[in-house]
Amino acid sequence: MFIDHAVIKVISGKGGDGAGTFRREKYVPKGGPDGGDGGGGADVILLADKHLTTLVDLHHRKTYRADNGVKGRGSNMHGRNAEDLTVKVPVGTVVKEAATGKVIKDLVKHGQSITVAKGGRGGKGNARFKTSTRQAPRFFEKGEPGEEKDIILELKILADAGIIGMANAGKSTLLSKISKARPKIANYPFTTLAPVLGLVKISDEESFVVADIPGLIEGASEGKGLGIEFLKHIERTRIYIHIVDPTQGDAIKNYRTINRELGEYNKKLLKRPQVIGINKADLLKEEEISKIKKVFKSRKLDFVLISARENIGLEKLVKKVYNKLKKLPKKIEEEEPGITEIKDVISLKKVKNGVYKINSVRVEKYTAMLDFENSETIEMFRKYLKKEGIEEFLRKEGVKEGDIVIIGDREFVYEED
């Protein structure tokens, strides 16, 4: 089953909590802190795999959750880091942020990967907070929360050549004759419901990959027929084999109709080289062939008279395509990332009179890592707010003593020094 679109939720692992333990040792204050750090939470990674050809598995499984890091232990024992969760996707998968639709990464090579959700770091154990003035800290950090995101995956197949043309022009028949692919062939519109790939062998060492794209009709770029779903797949191909069926009407008009739809979808596609196959030549009269030749030659269009069904002119068509391919660069056109790293800027939102909410990823994450049941935590938290300039920021924003300040899912009463 060919699926070229999926929306998934990825959840990275939470970091393991640090330990707040003490060792038992003579002459060491309160036994001495020996709490180890927690292990790091697992990342969620997307990996391009050339052996996959569809997003069907990801279409059915909607959520990918990575493991959490392991909690630290006494005797300064570090918690185990969780193993990253790697999700394989087909080569040619475009990864987008669901919230904005912006491109995160275009995975066009086998082995390419992208971390889509970063695991939380492990919390520090109390041994890390021992100082000359604080010999027996009970304070430790919880593990940093993981990330949760909705991701859009769009597959654009990779092929050297794409067979395009009107519905029922003979594209599938052509693919079945020049390769070992066996697409469905029948005499009704939209027989091909998904792109089909085939390998065309020129010799033992020379070959190219061709894709049969579902038939286009006038208005495909506006959503008519099946075209809008599959026009994206021809963006990757380096050359087009444009099949024109003169028995469907005016040959040059049909040729122009398809090209107009390409241009409406993406003007760049009109710059791709085309080899035109005038199909079903065995059904044409001599005067019809002569007229078609004259029209296409007058427009300096590169064409070959063929009959896919009767295997006429196919060898010439294939050689012409291959010779053009050899002169074209093999670089795959990638979608440019639309997401850049945004610096975390703290902001304040007034919820209602006397209630404010701090918006800052780093502040929210740090707050989530604190154990407020520990008496030392409030002291450490206030030091953090002062060191990071957050207290001064709140004061300048007009927050007054006694106001409620929300950070993440916690509420605090603001108190001035």
pLDDT tens digits, one per residue of 65-89: 999 999 999 989 999 999 999 999 9
Q: How many residues does the chain have?
A: 417
Q: Is residue 294 part of a domain?
A: yes
The residue from 131, 155, 179 where one domain ends is 155
CATH number of the domain where residue 381 is located: 3.30.300.350
The residue from 155, 180, 200 where one domain ends is 155
31: left (phi over 0), alpha (psi -120 to 50) or beta: left
Do 52 and 79 fall within a single domain?
yes
Q: Is residue 23 part of a domain?
A: yes
The predicted structure's pLDDT at residue 376: 85
Do 373 and 286 fall within a single domain?
no
CATH number of the domain where residue 37 is located: 2.70.210.12
Q: Is residue 98 part of a domain?
A: yes
pLDDT at 187 over 60: no
Do 267 and 170 fall within a single domain?
yes
Rounded to whole angstroms, the Cα distance separating 216 from 369 reads 55
pLDDT at 191 over 70: no
pLDDT at 216 over 70: no
The residue from 124, 155, 186 where one domain ends is 155
Q: Is residue 367 part of a domain?
A: yes
pLDDT at 225 over 50: no
Do 298 and 257 fall within a single domain?
yes
Do 170 and 283 fall within a single domain?
yes
Count: domains in the chain: 3
Do 35 and 59 fall within a single domain?
yes
Q: What is the 3-state secondary structure (H, E, C) of the chain?
A: CCCCEEEEEEECCCCCCCCCCECCCCCCHHHCECCCCCCCCCCEEEEEECCCCCCHHHHHCCEEECCCCCCCECCCECCCCCCCEEEEEECCEEEEECCCCCEEEEECCCCCEEEEECCCCCCCCHHHHCCCCCCCCCCCECCCCCCEEEEEEEECCCCCEEEEEECCCCHHHHHHHHCCCCCCCCCCCCCCCCCEEEEEECCCCCEEEEEECCCECCCHHHCCCCHHHHHHHHHCCCEEEEEECHHHCCHHHHHHHHHHHHHHHCHHHHHCCEEEEECCHHHCCHHHHHHHHHHHHHCCCCEEECECCCCECHHHHHHHHHHHHHHCCCCCCCCCCCCCCCCCCCEEEEEECCEEEEECHHHHHHHHCECCCCHHHHHHHHHHHHHCCHHHHHHHCCCCCCCEEEECCEEEECCCC
Q: Give the range with max mean pLDDT: 24-33, 224-233, 266-275.
A: 266-275
pLDDT at 192 over 60: no
Do 248 and 383 fall within a single domain?
no
**What angle, rounded to 10 degrees, do the helices at 286-298 and 251-265 form?**
40
CATH number of the domain where residue 243 is located: 3.40.50.300
Q: Is residue 332 part of a domain?
A: no
pLDDT at 133 over 90: no
**pTM tops 0.75, yes or no:** yes
The predicted structure's pLDDT at residue 354: 92
Contact between residue 180 and residue 193 where contact means Cβ atoms under 8 Å apart: no
The predicted structure's pLDDT at residue 199: 87
Closest among 394, 398, 376 to 385, alpha carbons compared: 394
Closest among 200, 203, 285, 192 to 239, alpha carbons compared: 200
pLDDT at 363 over 50: yes
What is the average pLDDT across 51-61?
86
Rounded to whole angstroms, the Cα distance separating 36 from 375 reads 20
Bigger pLDDT: 379 vs 336: 379
Do 146 and 165 fall within a single domain?
no
The predicted structure's pLDDT at residue 315: 93
pLDDT confidence bin for 311, thresholds 50/70/90: very high
Q: Is residue 339 part of a domain?
A: no
Do 100 and 178 fall within a single domain?
no
Bigger pLDDT: 195 vs 192: 195
Do 361 and 233 fall within a single domain?
no
Q: Is residue 226 part of a domain?
A: yes
Do 227 and 352 fall within a single domain?
no
What share of the chain in percent tops pLDDT 70?
90
Q: Is residue 312 part of a domain?
A: yes
pLDDT confidence bin for 212, thresholds 50/70/90: confident
By residue range, what is the domain housing residue 212? 161-327
The predicted structure's pLDDT at residue 139: 87
Query: What amino acid occupies position 62?
Result: K
Do 220 and 312 fall within a single domain?
yes
